[in-house]
Amino acid sequence: MSLAERRWLRLFTLCALFFAQGIPWGFLAITLPGYLAERGLDIAVLGSVQAMSYWPYVFKFAGGPLIDLFSIRRLGRRRSWILFAQGMMAVTMLGFALVDDVTAHVDLLLVLVLVHTIFNALQNVAADALAIDLLDPDERGRANGFMYGSKYAGGLIGGVGIAHVLDYVGFRTAVLAQAAILGAIFLIPLFVRERGGPPPEHAKPSEIWRVLRRVYKLRSPWTAAGAMLVMTIAGGMLAVVAQAVLIQDLGWSNSQYANLVGGYGLLLGVLGSSVAGLLAKRVGHRRLAAAGSLLLAADWLAFAAGHAWWHSDAFVYAIGLTEPFAQSIMIVALWSVCMSVTTKQTGATQFAAYTSLTNLGIIIGQRALAANAASWWSYPGVYVAAGILQIAVIAILPVIDPKQVRRELPPE
């Protein structure tokens, strides 16, 4: 079966791959830090664990040229990399089962998180490149919504399902369950082809470099890169601060936190991604990104203003469920904007650079701002600062012309 010839098959395959990325993402970003916070580890450790689960995504642009230039030709231009990375995701997840007590071996835990996420990021680069290669421009908005929604759905499994497995049967069984799921998803790209007919020739390094030079002489690819960087800084900061507020200050358990952020929250993320996919073509990608960012800022400002109600579960849930809904709309729309200024020849290299910047923004928020902001301001003040920053960065979006690359650099 060929992905190029069957729209439903390529959408299913892409969604399955993003679902596979989401399971460890939910575990490493939600379940594991909550598990450590519940056992008394401080905010610096929580930030380090989350940062290690993002750093490979910051540097995943390094894998882009490899995926654009090399592959096992009989498997297709992207599929060999997908199979390799997906298989190693399953194998490296098994490594967590070898640690007797992760709270007593934090340095080793950080290494395991880093190594696993390297392969997760590599799979992401290859899957993104496959999407750019195979998706028609008019189906990218909808496909991005379903793909990102699938990642949220995987995060739901890793962020709440695995949290409950961990509570009932322990850490080791929880990671073995994840490894089994990742291994099963490996079978999907194993039994499909990218295209019918002979495999395509590999691009030459000189060709990739020539196209990149032409692309980055234009304004829109640069401004899209700026948007991808700054739009996620505030969210990265609050991802760490929220754990300290809810678990350490308000006394929530790890399971309660996982239910909000990794359970209901990710369900709202799936919903937001689907809404963005359906509305992207009609509303416009830039307008949709601005709307999601504005809703996100309003949500954080409302949380700060409602400090007196922080002990009310109903209030926290209302704010906590609006956040992933708004974030998913913003990210799906930004993905579509970046795909519009990316060429097929440099799909892995260029798009990996964009999504690397998204994760760099999260890292800046987690590592450079989270602990410092908590010492500069009260927790309500941190949320006010995040809301103001999120509103300010919307000004970048009108500068991006999504049609500039296709207009000035037609396919060769």
Q: How far is CA 217 from the centre of its chain?
A: 28
Q: Which of 320, 232, 338, 337 is nearest to 269 (CA)?
A: 320
The single residue listed with the structure tokens 């007590």 is 101
How does pLDDT run across 393-403, given as a tens digit for each residue?
899 999 999 88
pLDDT reported for residue 180: 94
Residue 264 CB coordination number (10 Å): 16
Residue 370 CB coordination number (10 Å): 26
**What is the mean pLDDT of the segment spanning 294-301?**
96
Longest dimension (CA), the chain: 65
Asked which of 95-109, 138-152, 318-332 is least confident by mean pLDDT, the reply is: 95-109
Positive/negative CA dihedral, 106, 112, 116, 118: positive
pLDDT reported for residue 83: 94
How does pLDDT run across 262-280, given as a tens digit for each residue?
678 878 888 998 888 888 7
Instruction: Give the DSSP H or E segment for 21.
Output: helix 7-26
Strand, helix or coil for residue 123: helix
**What is the mean pLDDT of the segment spanning 197-210?**
72
Reading the block at residue 81, the tokens are 């990399």
pLDDT band for position 72 (cuts 50, 70, 90): confident
pLDDT reported for residue 291: 94
The chain-wide mean pLDDT, for the chain, equals 85
Q: How far is CA 327 from the centre of its chain?
A: 11
**Complete DSSP assignment for 186-251:** HHHHHT-BS-SSSPPPPPPHHHHHHHHHHHTTSHHHHHHHHHHHHTTHHHHHHHHHHHIIIIIIS-
The single residue listed with the structure tokens 């650079």 is 353
**What is the mean pLDDT of the segment spanning 45-57?**
78
Instruction: For residues 180 and 16, give the distance between their C-alpha atoms in angstroms, rounded to a whole number.
Output: 15
- 97 DSSP assignment: G
**What is the mean pLDDT of the segment spanning 253-270?**
78
pLDDT reported for residue 104: 66
Q: Which residue has the higher pLDDT, 82 or 266?
A: 82
List of residues 6+ apart from 251 with CB closer than 8 A? none
Distances (CA, A) of 344 to 43, 87, 102, 317, 351: 42, 26, 43, 42, 10
pLDDT reported for residue 132: 84
pLDDT reported for residue 250: 84
pLDDT reported for residue 127: 92
Instruction: Give the DSSP H or E segment for 174.
Output: helix 171-190
pLDDT reported for residue 88: 95
Q: How large a percentage of the chain has pLDDT more than 90? A: 27
How does pLDDT run across 304-351, given as a tens digit for each residue?
999 889 989 899 999 989 999 999 999 889 988 888 888 877 777 888
pLDDT band for position 284 (cuts 50, 70, 90): confident
Asked which of 11-25, 118-132, 251-265 is least confident by mean pLDDT, the reply is: 251-265
The single residue listed with the structure tokens 């799936």 is 270
How does pLDDT run across 359-377, given as a tens digit for each residue?
788 878 877 777 677 667 7
Asked whether the predicted pLDDT for residue 146 surpasses 90, the reply is no
- 378 DSSP assignment: -
pLDDT reported for residue 43: 67
Q: Which of 411, 399, 364, 68 is nearest to 222 (CA)?
A: 399
pLDDT band for position 251 (cuts 50, 70, 90): confident
Instruction: For residues 309 and 193, give the distance between their C-alpha atoms in angstroms, rounded to a whole number.
Output: 54
Instruction: For residues 99 and 112, give the distance between their C-alpha atoms in angstroms, rounded to a whole number.
Output: 10
